Amino acid sequence: GFITAGSLLIITQQLKNLFGFYSDNDCLLMGYPPSCVPFPHTDRFINLCRALVAFLPRVDPVSLVLGVIFMVVLSLFNALKAKSKDWIQSGTSWGWPAKRFAEMKEIVVVLAAASFGYLTCDAEGRPILTTIGQIPPGLPPFQVPWEVPAFEGLMRNQVPLGKAGESEWRESPDLLRSFLVGGALVAFTTFLTTYATAKKMAIKLGYPLDPAQEMIGLGSA
């Protein structure tokens, strides 16, 4: 139940990217043209669903079609991996190469998507599909939580309408409580999924398993 609900939440949250909706950062990079309407920040599942329905007329067809095609390609790679196991058992020479190639499916899809974006750029270097924008190189500098604008908004029960610290804030009275409850649920779900895997290996290999040690290991990590 936890895994299914988590999958549903992840799928719903990623639909805005599949549909090619602009983010606040996208509009900022483009100079906020009138045609660019950023997808709003939402703090509840039902509000996210309402925003997705409201933004359906703004779906980018290229991003949607390309995303669906690549999901089908990933599914075909999984079928190839399953088929390659039969080839290996039957002694076919291309069984191992096919299995290794199928295991690199994510790399193949990323390279194909990046190549498509590069080859379809206009004269100013903008691809025809919606992208996530410019990614700064390297790792972000270390900051203590109380110096991060998003944390300051959390303590005030406010959510940003765009990028935290660079946009207006909206009141959300239950934000801190929802954050704490959600964080506890994420921690509990992570422990459950990790413990389930550890328990499966313990049963398979015949060694004792201590749930307390698993929780200490997760906390240390």
- pTM assigned to the model: 0.64
Highest mean pLDDT among 16-25, 32-41, 76-85, 212-221: 76-85
Map tokens 């972000």 to a residue: 140
The half-sphere exposure of 70 on its side-chain side, counting CA atoms within 13 A, is: 18
Per-residue confidence at 71, pLDDT binned at 50, 70, 90? Answer: very high
Q: Where are the beta strands (DSSP E) in 95-201?
A: 158-160, 169-171
State the pLDDT at residue 133. Answer: 65
- Full 3-state SS string of 10-76: HHHHHHHHHCCCCCHHHHHHCCCCCCCCCCCCCCCHHHHHHHHHHCHHHCCHHHHHHHHHHHHHHHH
pLDDT at 70 over 90: yes
Is 153:160 a contact under the CB 8 Å cutoff?
yes
State the pLDDT at residue 53. Answer: 92
pLDDT at 38 over 80: yes
State the pLDDT at residue 165. Answer: 75
Per DSSP, what are the bridge partners of residue 39? none
Output the six-digit token pair for 13: 């949250």
Q: What is the mean pLDDT of the chain?
A: 85
Query: How big is the chain by its Cα radius of gyration, in Å?
Result: 22
Output the six-digit token pair for 104: 């690199």
DSSP string, 180-208: HHHHHHHHHHHHHHHHHHHHHHHHHHT--
Output the six-digit token pair for 144: 């203590």
State the pLDDT at residue 76. Answer: 93
Element at 165 (helix H, strand E):
none
113-129 average pLDDT score: 83
Q: How many CB atoms lie within 10 A of CB 16?
A: 19
pLDDT over 90 percentage in the chain:
15
Asked which of 30-39, 57-66, 86-95 is least confident by mean pLDDT, the reply is: 30-39
Is 164:150 a contact under the CB 8 Å cutoff?
yes
Output the six-digit token pair for 118: 């590069």
pLDDT at 200 over 90: no
State the pLDDT at residue 109. Answer: 93
Residues with Cβ within 8 Å of residue 214, at least 6 apart in sequence: 191, 194, 195, 198
147-173 average pLDDT score: 81
pLDDT at 56 over 80: yes
83-101 average pLDDT score: 86
